[in-house]
Structure formats: C-alpha cells, structure tokens
A and B are shown apart, each in its own frame.
Chain A
Amino acid sequence: DAGITQSPRHKVTETGTPVTLRCHQTENHRYMYWYRQDPGHGLRLIHYSYGVKDTDKGEVSDGYSVSRSKTEDFLLTLESATSSQTSVYFCAIRPDRPMNTEAFFGQGTRLTVV
C-alpha cells in the first residue's frame, strides 16, 4: 500500500460541467502522475508533477488541467467535461530513490460524462 487515495471513486457528471478529481498521498513523494485508461488504449499519461507548483503536460493533456499546491495533493480538473472524457482515471506516485523504483497506483476513479 503506497498510501494513495483517489476521490471520488465514482462520479457521473453532465457534459459541460467542471469536475475535479483528487489524488492524495501520505508519503511526501515528489513525483505524481495522472493517467486515463480506456479499452484498447492502455494507460495514457495526462499530466505529471515533479513537486509543488511544478507540473507538465503528458500525451493526452487537452481538456485537462492540474494543480499541486501541497506535496500530498495532486488535483486533476476537467474544465468542461465532454463525453470523450468518460474514462477510468488513475493517479500514481513514483519514489525518487532508488531511481529504478516502479510507479504505485491508486485504485482509480471511474468518471462517466453524460
């Protein structure tokens, strides 16, 4: 258990509404990531963070923004949700020592945009 909590675990929202997903970790790791998982696409990187206020875009960042004002929290916001953003969202952390450490994942948030 890497101490990662995602909330909410399930959410249904309407097209055009803003949505924020939260990832909370208890171990003060610098590196945090948001992925989305879709059938036939595997996990795709949305955004990542190397520390407080240090974030960058991943492969599929359009329509998403992130914020990291505290080490322990990494928020993913859909400014105006669309049906194409219906997905399962996973947060991950990766300890920076040793360098070869794997990523640890939260349990996921299933988001449905109707």
Chain B
Amino acid sequence: AQSVTQPDIHITVSEGASLELRCNYSYGATPYLFWYVQSPGQGLQLLLKYFSGDTLVQGIKGFEAEFKRSQSSFNLRKPSVHWSDAAEYFCAVARNQAGTALIFGKGTTLSVSS
C-alpha cells in the first residue's frame, strides 16, 4: 500500500526567505504525486503535480517541486516566501491508474514571520 510521510509538522520561515517542505512516499512503481495547500477554514487547492517526464515541476503561486526517485521524495520549494503563504501543506500520492484514491501525508503547517 502507498504511504506518505511529511517529517515536519510545523515550520516557521521569515518572509522573503526560501522554503522547502519535505515529502517521502512509499510505492513500488512511479506514482502520481501531488501537493495541496489549505488555508484556515478553507478547502484544498492543488499547487502542482507530477506523473512523468521532467522531474522538476512548476506550480501555482511560485511553487516548484522536484521528484527524486532514488530518495522516494517529492519536496516542495519556494525561493521567497510571502506572508500569504502561511497555510497547511499536504503531500499526496496515488497509484498510476485512473481514479485511484489519493493518500495524504499528515501535513506541514507553515508559519511566516515578519
């Protein structure tokens, strides 16, 4: 079965500093990988996804993520964090078949300090 680990429960970053959120997955083949963001009291919004090809994927709001097969990782990065990026971030994995359920990590809460 697939699983996702987000090692950091809570991260605080200064505004303007760079950000990296970690995600490790467990799956036998190349999975589909996703990063979602959730602002307080809101639903989930997709930031980016990976399924094949170029291992560096660009997403919305200036985020990017890099798939590293050898490390079973899909870390999310942003070069310069804005106060509005404070939210909870979820990494998710799905089997590379149509319609399979996404399995989520426990999330990382990002706080941005001024």
- A positions within 8 Å CB-CB of B: 30-31, 33, 35, 40-45, 48, 50, 58, 90, 92, 94, 96-97, 99-100, 102-103, 105-108
Taking each of A33, A42, A44, A48, which has the highest tally of chain B beta carbons within 10 Å of its own beta carbon? A42
- B positions within 8 Å CB-CB of A: 6, 9, 32, 34, 42-44, 46, 49, 51-52, 90, 92, 96-99, 101-107
Least distance between A108 CB and chain B CB atoms (Å): 6
Instruction: Return chain A residues, CB-CB under 8 Å to B104.
Output: 35, 42-44
Q: List 8 A-B contacts (CB under 8 A).
A: A33-B101, A35-B104, A43-B90, A94-B101, A99-B97, A102-B34, A103-B34, A105-B43
Instruction: Return chain B residues, CB-CB under 8 Å to A50.
Output: 99
Which of B44, B101, B107 makes the CB contact (< 8 A) with A90? B44
Instruction: Return chain B residues, CB-CB under 8 Å to A92.
Output: 102
- Also in contact, A45 and B43, with CB within 8 A (given A40-B106, A100-B49, A102-B49): no
